[in-house]
Structure 1
Amino acid sequence: MRVLHTADFHAGRSLRGFDRTPEVHEALTEIAALARTERADAVLVAGDLFDTANPSADAEHAVFDFFLRLRDAGIPSVVIAGNHDSAARLQSVTGLLGWVGVQVVAQPSANAAEMVRTVQTKAGETLVVGALPHLSERRLVKAADLMGGDTGTWRQKYREGMGFFLRRLGEGFRPGAVNMLMAHATMDGAVPSGSERTLQFDLTNAYTLSGLQLPPGAQYVALGHVHKPQQVGESPVAAYSGSVIQLDFGESGEKKSVNLVEVEPGRPARLHPIALASGRELRTVRVDLDQVEARLAREQGFTGLMKVVVRAPAGTALPGLKDRVLRLAPGTLAVDLDAQQEDLATPDLRREGLSLLDLYERYHRERRGELPADLRAAFQQADEWARQEEG
């Protein structure tokens, strides 16, 4: 049996105001074509189809066009919701997607049968997928009395909650079938892309799964959530397929891929990453102020998107710097001053002592530009409500 594993589309992603959805659509078209040419019996999508809970029409078109292409090729798929997806929104279209061969598990359930999906291949083989959508770390932890507990206690409570679901999913595996697990979570030892070294990842990286918790009957574990493609387990084979394009400058230089898994009942899976060609390359260029022209002249043939970080003495006034850079490199999305802006490669150097609101402002600046005053006020109010609720 040949199963194609992908994840983290993030359709609808905007980078510094630049819409990446057309590139995501291009990547999904490429993946659908690979599923056909590689003779995939099924496709697994391990969450984060969309970048926001309320995606644009273009983002929905990109994702649903992907599933229609799989339908036209006669390839069934199983999909779970990620932390960026609206589980309720995906749940509302499960019936419609089912008509085109897409089985969606949008929300966790204590009834394991509702999270186990079976696919019958054209060759008559059976694929069983234990599908675990994203489980909010906050909700799992809050289920126990953690007031006064330390971080180690929180982490253990999270693992216990996840362990319950993983054990129940393992009970749904069948002898004589190919049995796989799919989850949107962070595994111990996973290496994040620079893009996850932002607000969300730093606040949740205490909540991880151990490879020892994976159901022993799983022949392959298809993971989503971490954007860097990597294998994180040997027995069973567990891997992240990663995001389908370089989503932001923290992922500069990463080669994106999907995972082709060859497997037969009762035997270990064989993993074959397949490189993707879609998506514009992202590049960060750091340059001293007096070398801007000379350095950017070397980027004349670059067709991707750039962030230019200009090193200048503290307090230097630089009127017209952005226009100057854009004339030399029209593909530049951001022009930042050296020590004053967030460096995704070494974020911890400037995080100590910052409030949650400060971190959010940095996050928003990197993703979408300066934080509007009304959104800042709304975030501050939501943070206050959350603190009151926890109290």
Structure 2
Amino acid sequence: MRILHTSDWHIGRSFHGHATLDALRGVLAALTAQVREHEVDVVIVAGDVFDSATPSAECYTLLTDALAGLSDAGAHLVVTSGNHDSAARLGFQAELLRAGIHVVTRPEQVGTPISIDDEHGSVHFYGIPYLEPAIVRRLWPEVTSQQKALGQAMSLIRADLAERGGRSVAIAHCFVAGVEPTPHLEREIRQGSLDLVPLAVLDGPDYVALGHIHGRQRLSDRVRYAGAPLHYSFGEADKPRGSWLVELDGEGYASAQWLDLPVPRRLTTLRAPLDELLTDERFGEFADAWVCAQYTDATPQLDTMRRLQARFPHCATVIHTPEGVPAHDGRTYAGRVREARSEVELFDAFLTHVRAGEGATDAEIGVIRELIGEHVLAEASA
């Protein structure tokens, strides 16, 4: 059996204020083509189908089109809810979907598999929706953490599998210990807190398809994250987009192959003084990329976004990351004001405070003195 493991579609998420629906539609069309090309039997979507608990009508349309296209390509689908999804909204139409599309959103469904046959018999797919401890406690009173929630779910799965027998796949949306640490993990993750799930909790099935992390990761041959199909932050720019093509033979897990998905628009972070970003030829190749511009001038510059977008139309964010800033002398702004002996020194104290330690230049002091002189003359004539 060939299984395509994907996750974290986040339908409806914006990228620095820019809509991503059209880009995601194109990527999911490419994924559908891969399903046909590789004769995939089952497509898994491991949570965070939507980005919001209240998706727009356009988001539902995209999901409907994507599921129908994957089904038309010959695959069964098993979809679970993630922490971004409203389980009720994602699951309310589950019974109305065409045959072969299965949506698991309720904790009561845990432990009851979706069984799909191949030439070797049945493969049992155990979907685990995102299990918020405060919500599932009504069903499992002892659950106080993600670890306990996943532990309870996997206990039910192992108990059912012990009676049922055969090959199995579990699908979960959680943060599992052993994930490569990066500063750009999915925004809800709180590493080191109750959300951490030990890898051993997932023992049992032949393969565990995980969602929640936006970059692909292999925790073991049989436990993997597929990541998101689009880049949703500049911190993910170096992570490939795609899915795992997993093959089960008659004995269980046989292999996993990574299938790349197209990147509609590449992402890059450019770092240099503002004038270099605006004029240096070495940045010309990024005119069509999503750009995070980090300008390193010692002081903030004016109208940076408009100026940068004239060269990089898809500049999405501008960050001031000064280099060569004078060392802080330990004085506070209030202290500088108290020490000022003239109006010129008051201006200089203010500029030093707002410009990361760089006070007024000689030219600026001249302008300040001229303005102060005009002010004094105006008061004297009043």
Give the TM-score taking structure 1 as reference length: 0.75
The verdict on how the C-alpha distance between 1:131 and 1:145 changes in structure 2, with shifts beyond 3 A counting, is: closer
Q: Distance in 2 between matches of 1:204 and 1:80?
A: 25
The verdict on how the C-alpha distance between 1:283 and 1:202 changes in structure 2, with shifts beyond 3 A counting, is: farther
Instruction: Show the counterpart of 1:42.
Output: 42
Q: Distance in 1 between matches of 2:148 and 2:142?
A: 14
Structure ranking higher on relative contact order (CA contacts 8 Å, 6+ apart): 1
Paired residue secondary structure (2:307): helix
Pairwise CA distance, 1:279: 2.8
Moved more, 127-136 or 260-269: 260-269
Q: Distance in 1 between matches of 2:190 and 2:297?
A: 29
Q: Distance in 2 between matches of 1:189 and 1:18?
A: 33
Q: Distance in 1 between matches of 2:55 and 2:150?
A: 28
Instruction: Show the counterpart of 2:132.
Output: 136
Pairwise CA distance, 1:120: 3.0
Instruction: Show the counterpart of 1:378.
Output: none
The verdict on how the C-alpha distance between 1:238 and 1:43 changes in structure 2, with shifts beyond 3 A counting, is: same
Q: Any conservation in 1 of the 2:215–2:228 contact (CA below 8 Å)? A: yes
Unaligned 5+ runs, structure 1 = 147-153, 340-391
Within 5 Å, give how 1:73-112 maps onto structure 2: 73-97=73-97, 99-109=98-108, 112=110
The CA deviation string for residues 5-49 of structure 1, in whole angstroms up to 9 with x for no partner, is: 110111111012100111111111111111111011111110111
Q: Any conservation in 1 of the 2:215–2:227 contact (CA below 8 Å)? A: yes
Q: Any conservation in 2 of the 1:9–1:50 contact (CA below 8 Å)? A: yes
Paired residue secondary structure (1:312): coil
The verdict on how the C-alpha distance between 1:306 and 1:138 changes in structure 2, with shifts beyond 3 A counting, is: farther
Instruction: Show the counterpart of 1:323.
Output: 306
Whether 1:281 aligns to 2:278 is no
The CA deviation string for residues 224-251 of structure 1, in whole angstroms up to 9 with x for no partner, is: 00111011124xx100011001111110
Pairwise CA distance, 1:138: 5.2
Amino acid at match of 1:3: I
In terms of Rg, which structure is larger?
2
Paired residue secondary structure (2:319): strand
Paired residue secondary structure (2:89): helix
Pairwise CA distance, 1:317: 4.6
Paired residue secondary structure (1:284): strand
Amino acid at match of 1:282: L
Instruction: Show the counterpart of 1:201.
Output: 189
The CA deviation string for residues 269-309 of structure 1, in whole angstroms up to 9 with x for no partner, is: 31111111143211111222342224475234542211111
The verdict on how the C-alpha distance between 1:317 and 1:162 changes in structure 2, with shifts beyond 3 A counting, is: closer
Q: Any conservation in 2 of the 1:127–1:180 contact (CA below 8 Å)? A: yes
Q: Any conservation in 2 of the 1:182–1:222 contact (CA below 8 Å)? A: yes
Q: Any conservation in 1 of the 2:7–2:227 contact (CA below 8 Å)? A: yes
The verdict on how the C-alpha distance between 1:253 and 1:324 changes in structure 2, with shifts beyond 3 A counting, is: same
Instruction: Show the counterpart of 1:260.
Output: 245
Paired residue secondary structure (1:8): coil
The verdict on how the C-alpha distance between 1:265 and 1:179 changes in structure 2, with shifts beyond 3 A counting, is: farther
Q: Distance in 2 between matches of 1:211 and 1:57?
A: 38
Amino acid at match of 1:94: A
Whether 1:306 aligns to 2:259 is no
Instruction: Show the counterpart of 1:347.
Output: none
Q: Distance in 2 between matches of 1:61 and 1:77?
A: 17
Q: Any conservation in 2 of the 1:137–1:204 contact (CA below 8 Å)? A: no
Whether 1:226 aligns to 2:213 is yes
Amino acid at match of 1:166: M
Within 5 Å, give how 1:245-256 maps onto structure 2: 245-256=230-241
Whether 1:211 aligns to 2:208 is no
Q: Any conservation in 2 of the 1:186–1:207 contact (CA below 8 Å)? A: yes
Pairwise CA distance, 1:195: 3.9
Unaligned 5+ runs, structure 2 = 323-382
Paired residue secondary structure (2:189): helix
Q: Distance in 1 between matches of 2:281 and 2:237?
A: 17
Q: Distance in 1 between matches of 2:83 and 2:290?
A: 27
Whether 1:119 aligns to 2:116 is yes
Q: Distance in 1 between matches of 2:167 and 2:141?
A: 36
Moved more, 56-65 or 8-17: 56-65
Instruction: Show the counterpart of 2:227.
Output: 242
Q: Distance in 2 between matches of 1:335 and 1:106?
A: 39
Q: Distance in 2 between matches of 1:126 and 1:82?
A: 26
Identity %: 27
Question: What value does the CA root-mean-square deviation take over the aligned residues?
Answer: 2.7
Moved more, 267-276 or 12-21: 267-276
